Amino acid sequence: MDIENGRKPGVSSTKPETKGLLLMLRMVAFCATASATVVMALNKETKTVVVATIGNTPIKVTLTAKFQHTPAFVFFVIANGMASLHSLLMILVDLFGKSFDYKGLKLFMIAILDMMTVALVAGAANAAAFMAELGKNGNSHARWNKICDKFDEFCNHGGGAIIGSFVGILLLLIISAMSIIRPIKPASSVQHCSPAV
């Protein structure tokens, strides 16, 4: 049967070990981006700080640091959530899409979606990392004060989410490269055998 289809006997057209590795990488990438999304979305800290003193009476204000206060963190949550959804859908397609044609245009569409996901998450993680740096050290030239000395738990959770997102980016880059390489078959692996007369 393999000779009639133009393949070497006993060699399948899709390598099961490559498919299994890709599925495992997608699962780990899903865990990384989903955890980054959840940690940043639940990131909130409330503190009461003294803002002034009148005589001997301190004036206290309760302040809350939330991810919604920074557009870069909102973008971070949305982008990582979309990457998690993309990874989950691709896992489901790999597991339950038995009739899915892993050739031609459909496979290149998956590769394009993988590359778009990498670009989206990379942009969001870099924007969040910039804001985290600003929160940690401030900017004396623009007279922006640092906040991590007051909201250390908020900053630590945000930093953990950003690290998780960068791990997800690394995995998504590997997945994207594998998605591009996967449909390319070397010419030497295909033999056209004519039936014996």
Higher-pLDDT residue of 134, 193? 134
Measure the CA–CA gap between 51 and 63, rounded to whole angstroms: 11
Helical pair 152-181 and 104-137, crossing angle rounded to 10 deg: 160
Measure the CA–CA gap between 86 and 74, rounded to whole angstroms: 18
The CA R_g of the chain, rounded to the nearest whole Å, is 25
Residue 161's pLDDT band (boundaries 50, 70, 90)? very high
Q: Which of 89, 72, 94, 78 is nearest to 33 (CA)?
A: 78
Measure the CA–CA gap between 100 and 94, rounded to whole angstroms: 8
Percent of the chain having pLDDT more than 70? 78
What pTM does this model have?
Answer: 0.77
Residues in the chain, overall count:
197
Reply yes or no on whether the pLDDT at 187 is more than 60. no
Domain boundaries, the chain: 18-182
According to the 3-state scheme, what is the secondary structure of 143-192? CECCCCCCCHHHHHHHHHHHHHHHHHHHHHHHHHHHHHHCCCCCHHHECC
pLDDT at 164: 95
pLDDT at 97: 67
Query: Could you report the per-residue pLDDT of 97-121, keeping only the tens digit for each?
Result: 665 555 556 677 788 888 999 999 9
Six-digit token string for 88? 């989950």
Give the phi and the psi of residue 12 in degrees, each rounded to 5: -85, 160
Q: How far is CA 66 from the centre of its chain?
A: 22
- What is the residue type of 120? L
